[in-house]
Every structure is written in structure tokens, then in C-alpha cells.
Structure 1
């Protein structure tokens, strides 16, 4: 049974009169599905309303393959219903679901790129590198006994199935070769997209920046290219300093998220990440922060703060100077170094916890390059109803923690050649 294909066919289109979506249920019979409709963590089956009402087990494996493993229908449905959520909100839903499921039924986390690929295919994309094609091979046709087979020839033949529809039967060895092929495009689809673009207007700038070189009749030497007024001299060698990167934990249990990290590191004030007034609830997935590090450079550094490496290039990992962690190893799945001991041998680790609560044992076991910092617990009665200056005065210990944290980052950066003077 093609669970992924059936799920895609059951999704309502723009022209459908009834917008009935698939929903989780505890019933294996379509007639009882609506009466036994429930939450995803309690459900055993997924009800598909069309083309024929059907209930499929949520444990069914699909053709959506990641790292050689077929992703189950439960994980596919979770990614689909939360397709419009950003990365932290999706991770919160994922963590909450797995906390309510037994170990053998837990969903698989999809990265941002994997979710985009899956949603695009479910919405009608013709092909995807992560969706295994569904074919009728010679072996399967012979097992079913419905289609004559020409085996061992390495050629495709067209036969007739029971319903009278033509079915392509491919030799199993030839199909194995087809599965290794990669679809390529021409220069129009790769360089210009589906609509060709006219770049002829660029020619008028050619003589300005790339004048034709001709020898001087007197000296016989090639003339030097003149620099237009107001344009920088690109011939001069300049060493541009790259911006260091700080990675945050996307865990829902982390005290510091994209909504409150800038207030903490920039102004030395800790506020809860979910505070309706003091936290920046609309924070993006990438932030910038400027901080002077006098022991390294007189010019302040501009730090980049992110909570996911989905858009990382390989060379970006050399610029990562600190990784905030909560002690959960799933945070490192998309990292260059997935094992905590290996990761923190290259990058400084930072754990920020609440004073009075124990530090996770995993954090202690990851070595001396993971530093621990503790902040006082937030009290809304004491800290939330006063003005900014009074709040800063009452939480003066936060400033001490932040300065100590920056000194640790600066000391770690001094040991790397990329950040030396």
C-alpha cells in the first residue's frame, strides 16, 4: 500500500467543494472514523476522505526516505499540518508529541529543507529526490501474476493489466540502474529559471568597467585601467573580516531563544522568552549583535545569532565561536560534528540554567569546554511591573553573568587564528 500517495491524493484541492482534511482517529474502519476522531498522540490510524474513504495505520512506512530510512506516516502528517510554522514552533510541536508517545512510536524530526521538500511534493510537485519512485517491476509483476514478464532482457515492454490500462514493465536490473540516475536541467532551467531573462542592458556598463586594452603606439605597453570616479579600487588587496556566528538551542526548554537572546547578551538583562511584553515574539531566525572585544581588535565585532544550521555552507562552521545547549543531543543532528565530545573539542559550549536547579549530567560529562552560567529565576511581581531602569537595577546579577560569558567567548576566540589581530 502506497501510504504517501494515498495521503497526497486525499488532500483537498482548490476546486474541491468539500474541504475535508485527513484527520487522526482510533478506528480502523472508515465508517467509525469520525466518531472516534482524536488527537495525534492518541490516534492509531489516519482517516483519508478521498478518493475512497480509508483508514491507514500511522505506523505505515512511506516512500519519503531520509538517510536510507523510510519515514512513517505519523511524521509525514505532523510535518504537513504544521507546514506554516517556523522552525522553533515546529520543534516545540514535535517535542510535545514525542513526549506523549511510547519509544517505538515516536515521530521523526524533519529539518527545514526536508519539510519544504515534502510539502512541495504533497502540494503537487512532480518529483522529489527524497520521494522514492513507485514502479511496477518485473519481479512484482511476476509475483502478482497479472502481467506477462519479459525477464533478463534489460528492456521495457508495455503489457495490459486487469483493468485494461497499459502498464510499463521494466526488467529489475534495468530498474536498479534507473534508480541511480539524477535528473539534470539545461542552461535555461538552471541559470535562468523557466522564463528566459534578457541581460542585454548590461552591455552598456561593459566599456566602463572592462575597457578594451590596446598597446600604446609609442611605448608598446598596455595601458592601465582607469578607475571611474567614486568607485573603490578593486585591485588593492583587502582582508575583509568575517562575522563570527553563535548557535542557539531550538529546544523548548531553553531559557534563551531568538526572542530574548539579544536583550540578554546586548543589555545584560534576562527576561523569559515567552513574556508577552518584554520578549520580542516576532524575532526572525537570524539576528545581528555588535560587541567590542578589546583583547582581539579595536573594531567591534558583528555577531550573527541563529538557532538552526539549515542554511549553512561548509565554510560557515569555521566561524562558529559558541554553541548554546540544554544538554539534549538531538540539537546536533544537522551539525558538522554530531557527537557532543567532538563538537565541543572544536567549539565553545555554553549552558545557561536557572540558579538553584541542578545542571544536567550530560552537560557535565561533555568536558571542560562546556561552560555553565546561572541566572536568577524570573519573578513577575518583582521584575515585570517596574520600569526598565528599576528592572535592570534589581537584576544586577544578570549583568555579571553576561560579562563573564563574553569574557569566556573572547578567550576562546583568541585561541583561533581566524580571530587573531
Structure 2
């Protein structure tokens, strides 16, 4: 039995032995032996193979040898008998051999995976060593990674609460006199000589101890007249709004509607004792605290009137209302509320 091939007909070694035995015995065919012998011949490692039988026109097997050489180089073997592949002596046409030599070399699995010889990649280990070196961990960082909880002595800083003042010129409390009023409990007109704060300041700080929230340290309050520089999260820290009853004050607020504003933040109105409340203050009802102070007897003097003892009573009422609202909103010793 013969099989068509690239250069010759393959004859099974098992069939040759069966013929020699004359039918008295039979040799089983081992396909892997045939395959191993054929691959060895195709790779050029062996010039002879019992699987190869020369064709009738090629007694010396020159065509088979030439085709095997081309196959070992990765070129396709020409078919003997074609117009360009057959010369007078049964050898491969040089022109066809040149064409096959220009073809892309496919190679076998050994040449594709490993090349001519095994590749040494030991130099890659040296290059990667500098990137694989482990840096020693700092003791503090290792302890932090093993214990993700925050130590008790590293407490989160509490933000400062904010109080908004009215920028109206008719307001009895401005940046020039609010500090003496809320800290010292004494009212002085904003334009009098007794007013100690600078009228050009756009932000002030005052300290007040609120025992029901933090009995160990005073809280620092930030006082401003406008919300133009506010970030959105600042509104969660506003604890009081001083107003004169004029709605234009709330134009740039988060809640421009007075009813909605005083639903979230308590309002405070400071007026002269004995005077009638503005209509807007009465309309807003209990959401705005009404505080009355005595009129200043001599605005031109620089001395503070010692008879103004009722000012302190008014201030204490304001702080009591602010503290009560802060407790309700969720102010704690170490944190502010997430929303109001």
C-alpha cells in the first residue's frame, strides 16, 4: 500500500514484515513509530527512512532528499512532475527552489517555541530584582495596618459653629459691636466710640462654654455678615441667624424663603425695648426669637454705661436658645451634625 506524499510514497514497515513472514504471522502497526521515523526524516536528521519508497522515475532518491532538505528549512516541497518542478535529471528546478526559499518559514513546534537552542532568561531575574525587593515597613505603619481603629488620643477635630449677622445698616448688632455684646454681655452702638471691633473685619471669632455640649473646653464660634464665600457643607454648621426682618438679607442663602430658613436655623431679632416689632418678625412667629435691649443714653461717650445690667440677661437668653438648638440638631463634644 502506498500513500501520496510531498516527495515519495510511504510504505508501512509493518506491511513489509508481513510480506516477509508469508502470512504465517502478522505484525501490528504502531502509528507512533511511523510518525517518529517520518518526522526524523522530514527534519533532516536522517537521510534514510524505511517509511520512504522512491518513485519509479527516481531510483536514487535524489528528489526525495532535495524535498526533505527544503522541508527541514521550512519551505514547501515541489510536486515532482510539474512543469517547473521537473528537470531532465529529476532534480528540483533552481527557479522553483528560489521561490520556495523566499517564502515565509513556518518551522516546527521546536523552532517556534524555543528557536535554534533553548533561550536563557536568567538575565531577566537580575533586572527584576530591584523591583521585587521589599522595603522594610516603618513600625508605626505596621501597627496602623494591623489595628485599623483610630486610637483614643487621635480624636477628630470638631468644626466651629457659624453665626450669621445681618448686613443691614439699621441692625443694632454689627461686626463692630457683636463681640462685646455676646462675649461681655454689654451692648454699645455699632458707630459709637465704645465699639472696639474694627468695622472693616469680615469675620470674627468668639468663645463660649456650652456646658450641655462640652463642659471641658469653650467652643469657638465664627461670626460673618454674608454667605457669599460659603461652601455647601458650611450650612450644616450655622447655628443662628440675626435678622432685622428684611427679606433681601436671605437672597444668597441656601434657603431664601424665610419660613423655610427658620425651619432649619433659629432666627434672632434684637430691637429697642418698648418699640413695636416689625410686621415680618411677627409673621414669622416663634421661629424668630425677639430680644429687647435698652436704648443707649449717650452715644458720643467712650465709656460703657455700668447701668446696663439687663444686657447680660438678654445675652444669656440668646446663648440658651442657641445651645438648645445645637443639642437638638446633634452637636457633640467632638463632632458637628451631618445635616440640619
Q: Structure 2-normalised TM-score?
A: 0.53
8 Å CA contact retained: 2:176, 2:198: yes
Flag the structure with larger Rg: 2
Shift of residue 297, structure 1, vs aligned partner: 0.8
For residue 46 of structure 2, what is the aligned residue in structure 1? Answer: none
> Cα deviation per residue 1:17-42 (whole Å; 9 max; x = unaligned)?
xxxxxxxxxxxxxxxxxxxxxxxxxx
Q: Distance in 1 between matches of 2:133 and 2:286?
A: 64
8 Å CA contact retained: 1:327, 1:362: yes
Structure-to-structure mapping, 1:265-304, within 5 angstroms: 265-298=182-215, 299-304=217-222
For residue 260 of structure 1, what is the aligned residue in structure 2? Answer: 177
For residue 316 of structure 1, what is the aligned residue in structure 2? Answer: 234
Structure-to-structure mapping, 1:23-102, within 5 angstroms: none
8 Å CA contact retained: 2:213, 2:331: no
Which ranges in structure 1 are unaligned for 5 or more consecutive residues?
A: 1-211, 217-221, 228-233
Shift of residue 240, structure 1, vs aligned partner: 1.2
Which among 389, 402, 409 is matched to residue 322 of structure 2? 409
8 Å CA contact retained: 1:214, 1:223: no
8 Å CA contact retained: 1:355, 1:376: yes
Residue 243 of structure 2 corresponds to residue 325 of structure 1: yes
For residue 249 of structure 1, what is the aligned residue in structure 2? Answer: 166
Q: Distance in 2 between matches of 1:404 and 1:214?
A: 67
Secondary structure of the 1:366 match is helix
8 Å CA contact retained: 1:317, 1:336: yes
Which among 260, 274, 291 is matched to residue 356 of structure 1? 274
Q: What's the RMSD between the two structures over aligned residues?
A: 2.5
Which among 204, 208, 224 is matched to residue 138 of structure 2? 224
Q: Distance in 1 between matches of 2:329 and 2:233?
A: 15
Shift of residue 369, structure 1, vs aligned partner: 1.8
> Cα deviation per residue 1:212-241 (whole Å; 9 max; x = unaligned)?
99647xxxxx623548xxxxxx97553210
Q: Which has the higher strand share?
A: 1
Secondary structure of the 2:189 match is coil
Cα pair distance change 1:337/1:330, threshold 3 Å: same
Q: Distance in 2 between matches of 1:350 and 1:274?
A: 21
Greater than 6 Å deviation, 4+ residue runs: none
Structure-to-structure mapping, 1:140-159, within 5 angstroms: none
Cα pair distance change 1:251/1:213, threshold 3 Å: farther
Q: Distance in 1 between matches of 2:246 and 2:278?
A: 9
For residue 375 of structure 1, what is the aligned residue in structure 2? Answer: 293
8 Å CA contact retained: 1:274, 1:281: no
Q: Distance in 1 between matches of 2:271 and 2:162?
A: 21
For residue 39 of structure 2, what is the aligned residue in structure 1? Answer: none
Q: Distance in 1 between matches of 2:265 and 2:295?
A: 28
8 Å CA contact retained: 1:296, 1:420: yes
Q: Distance in 2 between matches of 1:340 and 1:419?
A: 27
8 Å CA contact retained: 1:326, 1:351: yes
Q: Distance in 1 between matches of 2:240 and 2:132?
A: 50
Q: Distance in 1 between matches of 2:132 and 2:256?
A: 53
For residue 130 of structure 1, what is the aligned residue in structure 2? Answer: none
Cα pair distance change 1:406/1:224, threshold 3 Å: same
